[in-house]
Structure formats: C-alpha cells, structure tokens
C-alpha cells in the first residue's frame, strides 16, 4: 500500500515545474480546434509531438487516431494514464475568447482538458525521472463519445504496443465547484446501450391518411409508452435512465413517410435491470407497431454498448488518500455511482486494477450564482458536460495534472 504522505510530498515538490502558462495555451488551442470521433488528427498530433519531445517512444495512428507513448525508466511497475480526445457535434454558446472555431463542433465534454492534463503529467513525470522507477504509458484515446474508441484501440494492438500495466488511471472533468475530487470505490459509472428502432409504415399523401400506415403516429405512441418503463417496471431501489434522443421521419409536411426512426439511450447499473429494460423496449415497440397495422415488423438493434465502470476498491481508496493529502480532506468524497458512462474500462487488460475519478470545474462565481441550497440543486442549475455552455474554470489545469502525477507516483516512486 502506498504512503499518501510520501506521495503527496513528492508531488508537491514537483509542482513548481508545472508550466501553467504553457498548459493554458495548450488547452485553449485544443478548445479552439475540436475534432469529432476518429477525426482527432490535429489533437493526436499535438499530443504525440509533446510526448516525443519529452522522451517517450510514441506510436501514432492506433485505431486511426489514437496515440500510445511509452517511457521506460528502469525496473519497476507499469502504469497507464489515459485521456480521451474527441469533441461533440454541439454548437458552442460560451462566448469565450477561445471558443470553438469549428461550426457545430465543440469540446462540450472537456476532453480538451483531459488531453492537456495528460500532456502536463507526461512532461512533468518525464522531467522528474530521477524520482521514480518503472514504465509510464500515456494513452490518447479517440472516439469515447459512443463510437467505440477504446475497443478499437485494443483491436488495433494496444495490448501489444504497451507493456501490461500494474494499474491504470483516468479522470474526467465534471460540474461542481472547482476544487473537488470525487472518488467512488467500486461502481462509479453506469453501463450504456444505444438502441436503434425503425418503424415501418406505408407512405402517401398527407391529404389521404386512410390510404397509409403512418409511422410517425406509431413512433409517437412508442415514445410515450417508453416513458413508463423505468417508472413502472424497474424497482425504486435500482437506478436506470431510458432516453429517446432521436426521432427522425419525413421530408415534407404533406407527405406521410414510409418509415420513422428512433434513437434510444439506456443507462443501467445492474445486469438484470438492463436485460429487463431491453426486453420491455422490444415488447413495446413490437406491440405498438402491431396495433398500428405496420406492414412489417420493426427493426430493433443494439449498438454502442459500454460496460459499467467499476473501480478496484482498494486502489481507489489508496488514490483518494493521496488526493486528500494533496488537496485537503474535505475535497475528496464519495459521490456514489453516476448515470454517465465511459469506455475507459475496455482499455484495461483482464485482471488489472484501475481507478477513475472526477475533477470538478465550475467557476466559483457561476456556482455561487446558481439557484438552490444544496449540491444536487446547484448541479442541476450549472452548465454540465454536453452543454453548449460548458466552460471549465482554468484554475483546474494545475490540479488535474497533480491528480494524475500523484496517482502514477503512488506506484512508480522509488
């Protein structure tokens, strides 16, 4: 077990080497130039160039745009640090001086910050090689946002390119007053499934609906009925979210289309709850299509599935203790499992412990101005991940580097 005090002291001794102005410039540059899943060529190039300059052996183009940097520094454990790189199809509305220059694309989930933290941690640890022994692996992952980037990197040879780790670490920016570091031993993030539904109809003229089977009406009934699944088929003791995020049908107001398409997203924390909801979705879709007289059965496919993220409890408690030593006891707490999802765990070889935590980033003035008297109410009121207004406070640049560095040193320090 690591000594939190020793790791904290070593990390603090190295903090003076962090170049905050450089990190700020790096972050703002990445934020201005967001790239969607598997298109992160510029972002990956920046990360790879910085790693090579720091002395890492770098492999580019893993799963098209992924980056793997390996820094061997004598005998000792192997530690992986991972950050994701992709942006979202969101039109930015922050008004920041360094706002996105790409129309309709934004780093609305903070992956630009994740890459900046990786750069800072990698360079700091490389500069401080005299303080640790082992092998540090830095992974820039593409396509976390539902596009299977972690699985793609593994399929493209990640486990061959990087030595088997003794521990894997990752973190995610989150809403909340800047300066907190939530840790949860065990289950921290939910499983996710994307479900795609096609409702077949019989198209025709909008003036003669009697000669058609309107898939828009059938799909509307499906959307309404699906709202009862969690409230009436899942125990109140279990957590689940079923969202209809896409409804596409038709091209003209006076044409009844031949089909309608729905996109659903399911978040669950228990396998039996997931299976029950998937069965309920299939039952409802099929029944509504039959009731509408659809000319063929609906098509229901599941894709883009992520497993639950389950931290190694002992490892998480150790890293949480290190972060308390660094930032203060009250800054680290167990927020419990989140309904958000990650493909982080898919990178990790079987049997290897991993730890994933959050770094809160809401500017203090925004947090104080938000309505509500408690944490939950304010969290609902401030811009969160995937919001066009999401704008992390620049004060988290340094601490986010320290969290990664201290986690790595908990295993690597001589």
Q: Is 145 labelled as part of a ligand binding site? A: yes
Q: What is the DSSP string of 181-214?
A: ----SSEEE-EEEEEEEEEE-B-EETT-GGGSB-
115 CB-near residues (< 8 Å, 6+ apart): 30, 43, 46, 47, 83, 85, 140
- The answer to whether 109 is annotated as binding is yes
Would you tell me how many other CB atoms lie within 10 Å of the CB of residue 231? 10
For residue 53, the tally of other CB atoms under 10 A from its CB is 11
CA 68/CA 153 separation, integer angstroms: 10
List b or e across 257-289, with b for residues whose CB sees 16 or more CB atoms inside 10 angstroms: bbbbbbebbbbbbbeebbebbbebbeebbeebb
Residues 6+ apart with CB under 8 A from 278: 193, 195, 266, 302
The pair of three-digit structure tokens given for residue 151, joined into one six-digit string: 């699985």
Cα 169 to Cα 167: distance, rounded to the nearest angstrom: 7
107 annotated as a binding-site residue: no
Task: Enumerate the known binding-site residues for Mn(2+).
Answer: 109, 111, 145, 172, 386
Binding site residue list? 109, 111, 145, 172, 386
């Amino acid at each position: 077990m690591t000594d939190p005090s020793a790791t904290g002291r070593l990390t603090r001794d190295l903090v003076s080497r962090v170049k905050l102005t450089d990190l700020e410039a790096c972050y703002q540059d990445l934020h201005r130039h967001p790239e969607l899943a598997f298109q992160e060529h510029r972002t990956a190039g920046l990360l790879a160039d910085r790693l090579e300059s720091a002395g890492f052996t770098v492999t580019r183009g893993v799963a098209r745009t992924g980056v793997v940097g390996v820094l061997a520094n004598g005998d000792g454990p192997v530690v992986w640090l991972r950050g994701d790189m992709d942006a979202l199809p969101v039109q930015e509305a922050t008004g920041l001086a360094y706002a996105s220059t790409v129309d309709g694309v934004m780093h609305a989930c903070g992956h630009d910050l994740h890459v900046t933290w990786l750069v800072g941690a990698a360079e700091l640890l490389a500069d401080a090689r005299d303080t640790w022994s082992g092998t540090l692996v830095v992974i820039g992952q593409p396509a976390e946002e539902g596009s299977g980037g972690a699985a793609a990197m593994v399929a493209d040879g990640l486990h061959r390119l990087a030595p088997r780790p003794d521990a894997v670490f990752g973190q995610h920016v989150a809403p909340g007053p800047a300066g907190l570091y939530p840790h949860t031993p065990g289950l921290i993030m939910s499983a996710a499934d994307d479900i795609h539904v096609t409702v077949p109809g019989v198209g025709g003229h909008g003036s003669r609906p009697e000669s058609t089977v309107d898939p828009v009406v059938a799909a509307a009934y499906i959307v309404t009925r699906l709202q009862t699944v969690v409230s009436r088929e899942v125990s109140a003791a279990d957590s689940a979210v079923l969202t209809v995020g896409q409804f596409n049908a038709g091209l003209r107001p006076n044409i009844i289309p031949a089909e309608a398409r729905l996109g659903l997203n399911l978040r669950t924390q228990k396998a039996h709850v997931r299976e029950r909801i998937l069965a309920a979705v299939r039952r409802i879709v099929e029944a509504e299509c039959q009731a509408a007289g659809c000319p063929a059965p609906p098509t229901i496919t599941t894709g883009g599935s992520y497993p639950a993220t389950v931290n190694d409890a002992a490892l998480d408690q150790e890293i949480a203790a290190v972060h308390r030593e660094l930032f203060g006891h009250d800054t680290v707490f167990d927020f419990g499992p989140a309904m958000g999802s990650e493909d982080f765990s898919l990178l990790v070889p079987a049997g290897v412990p991993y730890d994933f935590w959050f770094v809160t980033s809401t500017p203090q003035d925004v947090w104080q101005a938000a309505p509500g008297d408690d944490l939950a109410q304010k969290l609902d009121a401030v811009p969160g991940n995937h919001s066009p207004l999401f704008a992390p406070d620049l004060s988290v640049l340094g601490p986010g580097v320290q969290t990664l560095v201290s986690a790595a040193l908990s295993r690597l320090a001589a």
